[in-house]
Amino acid sequence: MSLDPADWKLLSRRDQVDGALTLAAAEAGTEAQVVTVTIPRSDDAPSLGLLLDEIATSGDAGIVAVEGLVEGGNGEKATAPLLPGDALVAAAEEGKPTTGVSLEGLPFDSVVERLSSLSSAVGVVVSVKRLVRKPRATVTVRFPEAEGREDARMTLYQGANLRRAMLSSGVALNDPLARRFDAGVGTGDCGGEGTCCTCAVEVAKGLDALSEPSSQEVQMVAKRFPRWRLACKATLGPIEQDEEIVLKVQPRNWDGFYRDDEVDVDGEPLARDGKR
């Protein structure tokens, strides 16, 4: 876990009229997960047993996080471990959710004041936000041999669209041999509408890590070439661990795709089943 304020960002909550803030992960590779624990307390041992640190503050806003636990204190008896870097977001008296107080986006003094408003004779339900590394896919993009280009590499997270990711990385997708599906004749980039096939890629590795193809995508490419996907429609699906994906762009242009009897004397592909 991290006590570095650069790992967090404070966002205005549009659903709140009182200017409340919400904590979010600053980097695309992490996400803030809510963890809720119960810390026992009593009249004889009223302390939470938490060492708190204000890792960021600006006016009425701040981030207060767990720095550590008091040895032998109540924090060590929580129903689940609290870790350094966990940012406090809410607390409530055990069994009394209506007594809850928000701690999210508040400076240290405000957090302490609100915690002190809770009865010290009962347990406290504490919610924190914890930064967790998101599973990711390492994507290798390979080009036709004739282009003589080195592989391109990208890192994608769940929900990322292949076409947008490749274009933002400078990868040229348009396949000059593709024919538009909607018109039946002619070529041209449809701009991500899923009608032109110019962004078709062959998934040499990691096909299961991508979203399921739509019926139109199956009809256009996957029925004939099961490992092909339209990059404009394919996204990185829900993954529970890091994945590796290898893509071949412009699959029609790779050596061996067309047989000798499917090209003319200049090596240009002839029509195949009515389509190039």
Answer yes or no: same fold for 5-133 and 136-249: no
Distances (CA, A) of 77 to 71, 72, 73, 183, 246: 10, 8, 7, 68, 47
pLDDT at 123: 95
- The tokens for 260 are 């000798």
Task: Output helix, strand, coil percentages for the chain, rounded to the nearest 5.
Answer: 15, 35, 50
pTM of the predicted model, to two decimals? 0.76
pLDDT band at 15 (very low <50, low <70, confident <90, very high): very low
Query: What's the pLDDT at 188?
Result: 64
| pLDDT of amino acid 275 | 43
Taking domain 5-133, whether its CATH number is 2.30.42.10 is answered by yes
Which residues share a beta bridge with 270? Answer: none
Residue ranges per structural domain of the chain: 5-133, 136-249
Q: Please give the torsion angle defined by the CA atoms of residues 160, 127, 18 and 7, in that order, rounded to the nearest 10 degrees.
A: -50
Q: Tens digit of pLDDT for each residue in 244-276? A: 999 999 888 888 886 666 555 455 665 555 444
Q: Which superfamily is assigned to 136-249 in CATH?
A: Beta-grasp domain (3.10.20.30)
What mean pLDDT is reported for the chain?
87
End-to-end CA distance of the chain: 53
List residues bridging with 269 in a β-sheet.
263
